[in-house]
Amino acid sequence: MTQENALVVTEQRVARIKADIALSDALVQNVLEAGVDYGQHPGTKSQALKDPGAATIINAFNCYPKAEILFREVTDTKISYVIDVSLVSREDDQVKSSGTGACTTLETKFGYRWTPFPEGYGYERSLLKKRTRDGKEQFRIPNPEWQELENTILKMARKRAEVDAAMALPGVSRFMSKLNLGRLPARSSGPPSEDWSGFWPRTRAMGLQDEEVHQLLDVKSMKDWRDQGRTMNDAIRKLAEELDKAIQENQ
């Protein structure tokens, strides 16, 4: 790396990075709804991003998903897909993140079905795995709707890839990690309410004091800002823009 291309770490640049992180955190926390966009992962106590949450985040970052099939296998006994999804910005057509998802009929929920009458499908019940539900015996047979499975496997692989790509966007994995560490309350479903409790910690992380915040936002207090009908995200975004201007002026 040449001297002229060397990365110069300045207080303004550090403040800008902190501002970007704070803005991403605020965006993710305010657009995701508990029970809709994320929820408890089956079989665990952890919270995980759901398909609707991935779509919400992708739209919030003004991106669209672009899918590519990396692997496809379709036989009489197995269907498998591996999909790569890139999230492309609608503003500059640049790839902001990517993710990979896979799905196969080797997964029990896709490759098999439970039925109380396996003989109707040509199977002998004594040779099959069985369970009891509601006092009745059920037997596991290969999925009889095999011809319809390819589309299901393809769509599931793509959904998983989109969730993986959304998790790679700024602030998403941080939000989920904080949630699972108990550092964020799991909001109940319903319209998200504006919560300003994290505003001052974010501005501190940006290296700003109260007086500097008021000056950059051109208000005497944050009450004046809220009375104008403006949100916390608006404030963080404005502060980030002002810090960016300062960086440009000092370069």
160 in a domain, yes or no? no
Length of the chain in terms of residues written: 251
Residue 124 has pLDDT above 90, yes or no: yes
Q: Is 248 exposed, middle or buried (0-12, 13-18, 19+ CB in 10 A)?
A: exposed
What is the residue range of 24's domain? 10-32+192-251
Low-confidence winner among 11-20, 85-94, 119-128 (lowest mean pLDDT): 11-20
pLDDT digits (tens, 9 = 90+) for 185-211: 555 444 445 567 667 766 776 677 888
What's the one-letter identity of residue 213?
A: V
Residue among 54, 94, 70 at smallest CA distance from 157: 70
In contact, 185 and 47? CB cutoff 8 Å: no
180 in a domain, yes or no? no
2 in a domain, yes or no? no
Of the CA atoms within 13 Å of residue 56, those in its CB half-sphere come to 17
138 in a domain, yes or no? yes
229 in a domain, yes or no? yes
**Rounded mean pLDDT, 150-155:** 93
CB-based contacts of 24, cutoff 8 Å, min separation 6: 169, 170, 171, 174
Residue 147 has pLDDT above 90, yes or no: no
Higher-confidence residue: 205 or 31? Answer: 31
**Rounded mean pLDDT, 134-161:** 92
What's the one-letter identity of residue 232?
A: M
Mean pLDDT of the chain, nearest integer: 82
87 in a domain, yes or no? no
pLDDT above 90: percentage of residues in the chain: 35
**Rounded mean pLDDT, 227-234:** 79
137 in a domain, yes or no? yes
Instruction: Write down the pLDDT at residue 194.
Output: 59
56 φ/ψ sector (left φ>0, alpha ψ -120 to 50, else beta): alpha
DSSP readout, 155-217? HHHHHHHHHHHHHTSTTHHHHHHHHHTTSS--PPSSSPPP--TTHHHHHHHTT--HHHHHHHH
Q: How many domains are contained in the chain?
A: 2
- Dihedral, CA of residue 110, residue 57, residue 36 and residue 231, to nearest 10: 180
78 in a domain, yes or no? no
- Does the pTM surpass 0.85? The reply is no
